[in-house]
Structure 1
């Protein structure tokens, strides 16, 4: 039987053998929710980079540039890290370079995998249906917060484990832990999350609507997939791994 594993922080990913595996990178608040939203609204590609300097260099080359640090948009860049920024009709067909505090780091650290896909609650069922079809082992890579474990990404990982329950073996205890957490929260995740550190952080920044939006299930059916070093909408050829 295939195996599912969960990495709770990018600081731990070096302990995982990603070769031949499909990695689902998740940064619910808010990077992967933004990426899912952008691709769903017609963005051509998203290039994740680790540093502000890399993002600025791509901005000079004609990319629309999105940059966030500590939850705030960085001055001098076109976009921040709100999913509502990615709904702008003017972004349709555009290429975006993006750097965030946590999510883009998790993506760049996952590139040894057979395939990297972007997960969020917004495209949850699309992700699950895809994972059920493939023959590869799966690692859910949680972006966390500055190397630390966070609630929202752990809940997402638990939801994935729950949806695949009985179809995949646990690779270690991490899937069991996040599954237990999700079972506690699934009745009302919004309330469960209210006291999490990142929810409080977003509330202080007066972006509660981002928090509520990012916890919505199945707004979209698309899956962003890493092709080279750009995220693009998954096509039929990407499913033939």
Structure 2
């Protein structure tokens, strides 16, 4: 009897994406610290849509046209922009029902690489349970694409991807074959009781702490603060 289960796998960096595609109808882009967390926070706060762009130059072109535009590189707001990828910067009243443009070091690059997939959704700890339930209902192959750090492996995105794959595997309707997925799942199982403590020594957490962004880190590592699932449609992120 043939196995009718769908696949869920974990890709650690955007640079490895082509090794996995094609074959996955749904790609979940994850950038826990902080782009996908900020995107989820933005939609939770009532933003209408977000246009993710891979380069600062593209973001600046939109800004010149009058768009609210943010850009972040190496954890800091790029000069000439009003905001970066802190979730707290999207909790302003004047963002409600607006269209915003965003470029970040890792997250918007991953979104750009995945944009031709059948469905691209945004994942973080903030919307973890809602996203897992949604993915379980779709009956499609799922690839968790970690944004990493400048095309290198990072812990927090991998742990979040491991949480998603662990949930889907537990339904019995999914299977997983790649060692990357097995490792992600076990990292998640090691970290799940205390993400904040487990990630204390992670490189990006240290990077953000040095920039006095510890509150951002705490917020981004606190699961299930929202049920929103941002989805990429015609080059824009909108609420599912």
TM-score range, shorter chain: over 0.9
Cα displacement (A) at 1:163: 1.2
TM-score by length of 2: 0.95
Give runs of aligned pairs for residues 1-241 of structure 1, distance below 5 A. Answer: 1-18=5-22, 21-165=25-169, 166-234=172-240
CA distance, structure 2, for counterparts of residue 167 and residue 207 of structure 1 = 39
CA distance, structure 1, for counterparts of residue 129 and residue 41 of structure 2 = 15
Contact 2:24 2:143 in 1 (8 A): no
Contact 1:18 1:112 in 2 (8 A): no
Write the deviation string for residues 139-164 of structure 1: whole angstroms up to 9, x where unpaired.
Answer: 00000000100010010011111111
Write the deviation string for residues 113-143 of structure 1: whole angstroms up to 9, x where unpaired.
Answer: 1100000110111100101100210000000
Aligned to 1:96, the other structure's residue is in SS state strand
CA distance, structure 2, for counterparts of residue 167 and residue 210 of structure 1 = 35
Cα displacement (A) at 1:19: 5.1
Cα displacement (A) at 1:16: 1.6
Contact 1:67 1:79 in 2 (8 A): yes
CA distance, structure 2, for counterparts of residue 112 and residue 6 of structure 1 = 18
Match of 1:239 in 2: none
Specify every segment of 5 or more residues in structure 2 that has no aligned partner in the other structure, as ranges. none
CA distance, structure 2, for counterparts of residue 211 and residue 9 of structure 1 = 21
TM-score by length of 1: 0.95
Match of 1:238 in 2: none
Write the deviation string for residues 29-79 of structure 1: whole angstroms up to 9, x where unpaired.
Answer: 000000000011111110110111100001112211110000000111121
Contact 1:19 1:113 in 2 (8 A): no
CA distance, structure 2, for counterparts of residue 18 and residue 63 of structure 1 = 34
CA distance, structure 1, for counterparts of residue 97 and residue 199 of structure 2 = 34
Aligned to 1:77, the other structure's residue is in SS state coil
Structure 1 vs Structure 2 CA RMSD: 1.0
CA distance, structure 2, for counterparts of residue 174 and residue 193 of structure 1 = 19
Higher mean Cα deviation, 210-219 or 166-175?
166-175
Aligned to 1:6, the other structure's residue is in SS state strand
